[in-house]
Structure 1
């Protein structure tokens, strides 16, 4: 028996800069996970994944990840995705410049 579907977001890496990005409901890629489209239907999620994979001129490595709804928008469920929201771990690049 398969496990029930849990909410997901689509993530990938920006082709040029390499930053982690998330697909928004407007078919744009955002560097902020809170802007992502929260996918709560498995068929819709698979369709959106195919859309993302077809954008090989913009992003690489698109995949679905578990997410949860929060007041600020979709939020990570697993540590790996929480880590990706912070950007590169080698200072002073990406989102961590101001840290």
Structure 2
């Protein structure tokens, strides 16, 4: 008889979330900051610990879309590590680090 399949820690624990989007005027990846502004720095994002704060942040993102500040705002899962916040999905790691085709435009993850 085989052993039961273990789920990864990332799948079983509740994920921390932040809201991300692209700034409309220059297309850069931005994160919703505390107070409702937007920051290019992942570690300055407003970490959303409860369903209520997540819902409010998603609404703030939609309001910023309506005001034509950002486009395509949505929540992403992150974890806090030794160097700060880190997205859990590869797509979001790539967005946070900058373009993969232009190393000169890359930025340190979390900066």
Q: Normalising by structure 2, what TM-score?
A: 0.72
- Structure 1 gap segments, 5+ residues each: none
1:27 paired with 2:36, answer: yes
What is the alpha-carbon root mean square deviation over aligned residues? 2.3
- Structure 2 gap segments, 5+ residues each: 1-11
- Provide the secondary structure at the position in 2 that maps to 1:82: helix
Bigger Rg over Cα: 2
Matches within 5 A, 1:10-89: 10-56=19-65, 57-89=68-100
Spell out structure 1 runs of 4+ moving beyond 6 A: none
Give the direction of change, closer, same or farther, for the CA distance of 1:6–1:25 in structure 2 (3 Å limit).
Answer: same
Query: Could you say which structure has the higher helix fraction?
Result: 2
Higher RCO structure (Cα 8 Å, ≥6 apart): 1
Give the direction of change, closer, same or farther, for the CA distance of 1:35–1:71 in structure 2 (3 Å limit).
Answer: farther
Number of equivalenced pairs: 94
Q: Normalising by structure 1, what TM-score?
A: 0.80
